[in-house]
Amino acid sequence: MRILIIEDDKEAAAYLVKAFREAGHMADHAADGLDGYAMAEGGDYDVLVVDRMLPKLDGLSLIRSLREQKIESPVLILSALGQVDDRVKGLRAGGDDYLPKPYAFSELLARVEVLARRRASVSHAEPTTYRVGDLELDRLSHRVTRSDHEIILQPREFRLLEYLMKNANQVVTRTMLLEHVWDYHFDPQTNVIDVHVSRLRAKIDKGFDKPLIHTIRGAGYMVRVGGETDA
Amino acid sequence: MTALGKLIRTTAFKLSFAYLVVFALFAFAALGYVAWNAQRLLTDQFNATIEAEIGGLAEQYRLGGLRRLVNIVERRSRAPGALLYLVTTPLGERVAGNVGALPPGAADHPGQFETAYTRTDEADAPPSHALVRVYRLPSGFHLLVGRDMEESARLRDVIRRAFGYSLLFIGVLGCAGGWFITRRVLKRIDDMTETTRTIMAGDLNGRLKVAGTGDELDRLAQNLNQMLDRIGELMHGMREVSDNIAHDLKTPLTRLRNKADEALRLARTPEELKAALEANIEESDNLIRIFNALLMIARLEAGNAREGLSDFDASEAVRDVAELYEALAEEAGVPLKVQVDDDLPVHGSRELLGQAVANLLDNALKYGASGEPEAAARPVSVTAKRAEGEVRIEVSDRGPGIPEAERGHVLERFVRLESARSRPGFGLGLSLAAAVARVHGGTLRLEDNAPGLRAVLALPLAPAIGEA
């Protein structure tokens, strides 16, 4: 996918460009708000990674201007300001996700990939059924089956699995899970999320040869068929 | 010269000068009015006297003719301090009276005027001024009655002198007063400038002198002093924060560095290097976490988290967080009792409250119970209820608790009790929860759960959602 990084810190930008390319994406870089705006307007990017504080045109104004021009590329805002109200301001300006600095690249990558995929699927309506291998989740009847055996989940476990399956074959980080399943944006201090995932895993994968919920070391979790798992 | 220039440029000097001019004008106007009135009064009086005298003499003339008039004039002319009298023929020749020389033709025409004259009995004296009235008698003779104007002239002199003295007086007094006031104000302002300069140079403990008069300069000095106090407090807080940050970040940074160093020296296989790098990343993540928590506390304490607050139901937030930690408690084999009443409206941030409760629960599970063999007998409980107009959220454990003397202390940043050193954590959880409580206008109290610790988050109750 094509990613535009609008970031004035040269070193940070170079690192991001390199890291995204290593992850198999195309990444361009703009060093200030005006350049960034011009490039975002001209190029068809899948995701924009925008620093909040930029020379010439600040990040939020840039996003507002793009949305005004009906350029709907998903935007992830990077900011040294990590507070709740800053996040709200960022999302209100038209951003799609918000990541406070400092961040782990794995977190950024996971979020960017989720945003890009959401863009790709925005034309079709969300499917009512998610399917990964022999695992099936019906969003309407709230039924989960694996190899036609029904699995009983608690409401929260259902939402957890729903989010993981919605982003199947993509890394989902612990903070992303806390955000989307529990609607909290803080950093859980201990392995609270891990415990929930391992409970879910016990219900989903127990008794089956091939696990579907994989732990991606240093990043988070992924639902997929086959492949290695670090767990 | 520069001192004089400075004096002239001061507001006090300009003000004094302006007042001086205004007062001088007032004084002159008042004096002038008095003088003019006095003069007029005197002249009126003279007129009246002369009028009455002429009336009387004319009556005498009517009764006894010219002979009688002349006799009376002669007699009255000799009386001491007499008016001026003169009777002349129609051709202007003197018949009787005490007026000697008159300007030629002065007494020929009837009417009232001022003129110079000399008395007959003091012919050598210089002529003086008089107000006279000439009356034409029916026989064609002229009768002149007048009054010396010497008094009027003296009055004028007195007034003129008064003008002069008052001018001098106002001038001298005004200048002296202005100079005195200006000097006083200037000195105080110079003192203030001097003090502020030393403060700017770095001595933040300096304070402006307050004279105690309660005037505007005093008020200014008091305000500036209060401002300096506030700046001092903020500086102190900043220094404390940065000291703490430096202290607590240095330890993990050193550890990070040592681990990298060790891996570089000792690791032989790529696997070992990889493991060392992963450990480094984990350590870095911890640092980031500490940093985020610190920034958050700093932001909350700086008080700019108040925007974006709204009314929400605390019961949902507490239930959500309790549910989040339930799995963890179960994993650790600790029974988690949750008892949350419905409808607990609070004004604030669900996000922040959630984080505070999460921190308390985290602590309770970490220090209160987990890892102990008899963990099952040490339940952790979460309750939320209304009490005395507040929403009270309590997280209690049956662990070792915190000695009473240490309870205030542990709310500070980075404080971890000796007994907790061996466990993971940054010593920021409680201080963050306390900061969140303050943002909500509430408090975080640590109480004895006998045994164990009870953390009470008391927040003011908001008007019920939907009611307002």
The per-residue pLDDT for range A154-188, each reduced to its tens digit, is 888 899 999 999 888 888 888 888 888 888 877 76
CA distance B148 to B122: 14
| B350-363 helix and B314-332 helix, angle to the nearest 10 degrees | 30
Query: What's the gap between Cα B53 and its chain centre?
Result: 72
**Is the model more confident about B290 or about A62?**
A62
Q: Reply yes or no on whether the pLDDT at B351 is more than 60.
A: yes
Which pLDDT band holds residue A82 (cuts at 50, 70, 90)? low
CA distance B108 to B144: 10
Does B324 touch chain A if contact means CB atoms closer than 8 Å?
yes
Enumerate residues 6+ apart whose C-beta is below 8 A from B125. Answer: B118, B119
Residue of A nearest to B359 (CA): A189
Name chain A contacts of B319, Cβ cutoff 8 Å: none
- β-strand partners of B457: B393, B444
Nearest to A106 by CA among A10, A219, A227, A28: A219
Q: What is the pLDDT of residue B413?
A: 56
Annotation: CATH topology of B2-154: Beta-Lactamase (3.30.450)
* Rounded mean pLDDT, B285-297: 76
Residues of A with CB under 8 A from a CB of B: 82-85, 88, 100, 102-104, 156, 182-192, 195-196, 199, 217-218
**CB pairs A-B closer than 8 Å:** 71
CA distance B185 to A39: 63
- Helix, coil or strand: residue A151: strand
* Rounded mean pLDDT, B236-262: 78
Annotation: CATH topology of A2-120: Rossmann fold (3.40.50)
Does B302 touch chain A if contact means CB atoms closer than 8 Å?
no
Out of A104, A187, A190, the one facing B292 most closely (by C-beta) is A187
Q: Reply yes or no on whether the pLDDT at B269 is more than 50.
A: yes
A84 and B289 within 8 Å at the Cβ level: the answer is: no
- Our CA-based measurement puts residue A113 at a distance from the nearest CA of chain B, in whole angstroms, of 21
A191 and B328 within 8 Å at the Cβ level: the answer is: yes
A189 and B285 within 8 Å at the Cβ level: the answer is: no
Name chain B contacts of A184, Cβ cutoff 8 Å: 320-321, 324, 351, 354-355, 358
**Is the model more confident about B319 or about A89?**
B319
B429 and A189 within 8 Å at the Cβ level: the answer is: yes
Element counts in chain A: helices (H) and strands (E) = 8, 12
The one-letter code for the residue type at B301 is E
Which range has the worst mean pLDDT, A63-72, A180-189, B45-54?
Answer: A180-189
Sign of CA dihedral A22, A23, A27, A31: negative
Nearest to A130 by CA among A165, A154, A155: A165
Longest Cα separation, chain A:
59
CA distance B227 to B219: 12
Check if the beta carbon of residue B431 is closer than 8 Å to that of residue B290.
Answer: no
- Our CA-based measurement puts residue A221 at a distance from the nearest CA of chain B, in whole angstroms, of 17
| B350-363 helix and B429-439 helix, angle to the nearest 10 degrees | 150
Nearest to B385 by CA among B393, B376, B377: B393
Name chain A contacts of B288, Cβ cutoff 8 Å: 102-104
B51-71 per-position pLDDT tens digit: 888 888 888 888 888 888 888
Phi, psi torsion values for B75, nearest 5 degrees: -65, -45
Name chain B contacts of A85, Cβ cutoff 8 Å: 305, 307-308
Out of B327, B359, B362, the one facing A195 most closely (by C-beta) is B327
Angstrom distances, CA of residue B106 to CA of A117, B98, B112, B250, B298: 127, 15, 11, 117, 105
Give the residue range(s) of CATH 1.10.10.10 domains in chain A: 129-223
End-to-end CA, chain A: 29
- Our CA-based measurement puts residue B468 at a distance from the nearest CA of chain A, in whole angstroms, of 24
A2: DSSP letter: E
Tokens 């996700």 — which residue?
A97
Mark which residues 348-367 of B lie under 8 Å from A by CB.
349, 351-352, 354-355, 358-359, 362, 365-366
Output the 3-class SS for chain B: CHHHHHHHHCHHHHHHHHHHHHHHHHHHHHHHHHHHHHHHHHHHHHHHHHHHHHHHHHHHHHHHHHHHHHHHHHHHHHCCCCCEEEEECCCCCEEEECECCCCCCCCCCCEEEEEEECEHHHCCCCCEEEEEEEEECCCCCEEEEEEECHHHHHHHHHHHHHHHHHHHHHHHHHHHHHHHHHHHHHHHHHHHHHHHHHHHCCCCCCCCCCCCCCCHHHHHHHHHHHHHHHHHHHHHHHHHHHHHHHHHHHHHHHHHHHHHHHHHHHCCCHHHHHHHHHHHHHHHHHHHHHHHHHHHHHHHHHCCCCCCCEEEEHHHHHHHHHHHHHHHHHHHCCCEEEEECCCCEEEECHHHHHHHHHHHHHHHHHHHHCCCCCHHHCCEEEEEEEECCEEEEEEECCCCCCCHHHCCHHHCCCCCCHHHCCCCCCCCHHHHHHHHHHHCCCEEEEEECCCCEEEEEEEEECCCCCCC
Which pLDDT band holds residue B28 (cuts at 50, 70, 90)? confident
Name chain B contacts of A159, Cβ cutoff 8 Å: none
* Rounded mean pLDDT, B232-258: 77
Does B306 touch chain A if contact means CB atoms closer than 8 Å?
no
**Is the model more confident about B261 or about B414?**
B261
Mean pLDDT over each residue of chain B, to the nearest integer: 80
Residue B56: both structure tokens together: 């009387």
A-interface mutation test, from B278, B287, B291, B292, most A Cβ less than 10 A away:
B292
Residue of B nearest to A194 (CA): B328
Mean pLDDT over each residue of chain A, to the nearest integer: 84
A-interface mutation test, from B287, B299, B321, most A Cβ less than 10 A away:
B299
Nearest to B205 by CA among B231, B223, B168: B231
Query: What's the gap between Cα B224 and its chain centre?
Result: 10
Tell me how long chain B is. 468
The one-letter code for the residue type at A148 is D
Does B447 touch chain A if contact means CB atoms closer than 8 Å?
no
Does B331 touch chain A if contact means CB atoms closer than 8 Å?
yes
Residue of B nearest to A178 (CA): B324
A89-111 per-position pLDDT tens digit: 888 888 888 888 778 888 899 89
- β-strand partners of B117: B128
B356-396 per-position pLDDT tens digit: 898 888 888 877 654 555 656 678 889 998 888 888 999 98
CA distance B468 to B347: 12
Query: What's the gap between Cα A222 and its chain centre?
Result: 12
CA distance B410 to B159: 87
CA distance B96 to B72: 10
Q: What is the pLDDT of residue B432?
A: 82
* Rounded mean pLDDT, B422-445: 75
B209-241 per-position pLDDT tens digit: 888 887 888 888 888 888 888 888 778 877 776
- Helix, coil or strand: residue A32: coil
Angstrom distances, CA of residue B405 to CA of B94, B411, B446: 125, 12, 11
Give me the percent of chain B exceeding a pLDDT of 90: 1
B351 and A184 within 8 Å at the Cβ level: the answer is: yes
DSSP string spanning A171-225? -EEHHHHIIIII---S--SSSHHHHHHHHHHHHHHTT-SS--EEEETTTEEEE-S
Tell me how long chain A is. 231
**Strand A75-79 to strand A47-51: parallel, antiparallel, or no bridges (unpaired)?**
parallel
Check if the beta carbon of residue A216 is closer than 8 Å to that of residue A203.
Answer: no
A217 and B278 within 8 Å at the Cβ level: the answer is: yes
Which pLDDT band holds residue B439 (cuts at 50, 70, 90)? confident
Q: What is the pLDDT of residue A83?
A: 65
Check if the beta carbon of residue B208 is closer than 8 Å to that of residue B227.
Answer: no
Name chain A contacts of B425, Cβ cutoff 8 Å: 189
| Count of C-beta atoms within a 10 Å radius of residue B250 | 10
A-interface mutation test, from B296, B324, B334, B349, most A Cβ less than 10 A away:
B324
Q: Reply yes or no on whether the pLDDT at B420 is more than 50.
A: no
Give the residue range(s) of CATH 3.40.50.2300 domains in chain A: 2-120
Out of A185, A189, A192, the one facing B351 most closely (by C-beta) is A185
Q: What is the pLDDT of residue B112?
A: 80
Query: What's the gap between Cα A70 and its chain centre?
Result: 23
**Is the model more confident about A71 or about B410?**
A71
Check if the beta carbon of residue A169 is closer than 8 Å to that of residue A131.
Answer: no
B296 and A83 within 8 Å at the Cβ level: the answer is: yes
CA distance A204 to A177: 17
B399-409 per-position pLDDT tens digit: 777 777 777 66
Name chain A contacts of B328, Cβ cutoff 8 Å: 190-192, 195
The one-letter code for the residue type at A78 is L
B358 and A189 within 8 Å at the Cβ level: the answer is: yes
Residue B404: both structure tokens together: 């009473």
Q: What is the pLDDT of residue A161?
A: 92
Which pTM does this prediction carry?
0.60
B351 and A84 within 8 Å at the Cβ level: the answer is: yes
- The CATH label, of 3.40.50.720, 1.10.10.10, 1.10.20.60, 2.60.40.10, for the domain at A129-223 is 1.10.10.10
Residue of A nearest to B284 (CA): A104
Sign of CA dihedral B69, B75, B81, B84: positive
Tokens 């997280």 — which residue?
B395
Q: What is the pLDDT of residue B106?
A: 67
Residue A138: both structure tokens together: 């019906």
CA distance A12 to A45: 20
B281 and A218 within 8 Å at the Cβ level: the answer is: yes
Q: Reply yes or no on whether the pLDDT at B207 is more than 50.
A: yes
B349 and A84 within 8 Å at the Cβ level: the answer is: yes
- β-strand partners of B459: B391
Name chain B contacts of A196, Cβ cutoff 8 Å: 324, 327
Give me the percent of chain A exceeding a pLDDT of 90: 7
Give me the percent of chain B exceeding a pLDDT of 70: 87
Angstrom distances, CA of residue B283 to CA of B252, B253, B277: 7, 8, 10
* Rounded mean pLDDT, B64-81: 83
Domain B308-460 class, CATH top level: alpha beta
Q: Reply yes or no on whether the pLDDT at B418 is more than 50.
A: no
- Our CA-based measurement puts residue B19 at a distance from the nearest CA of chain A, in whole angstroms, of 55
A85 and B355 within 8 Å at the Cβ level: the answer is: no
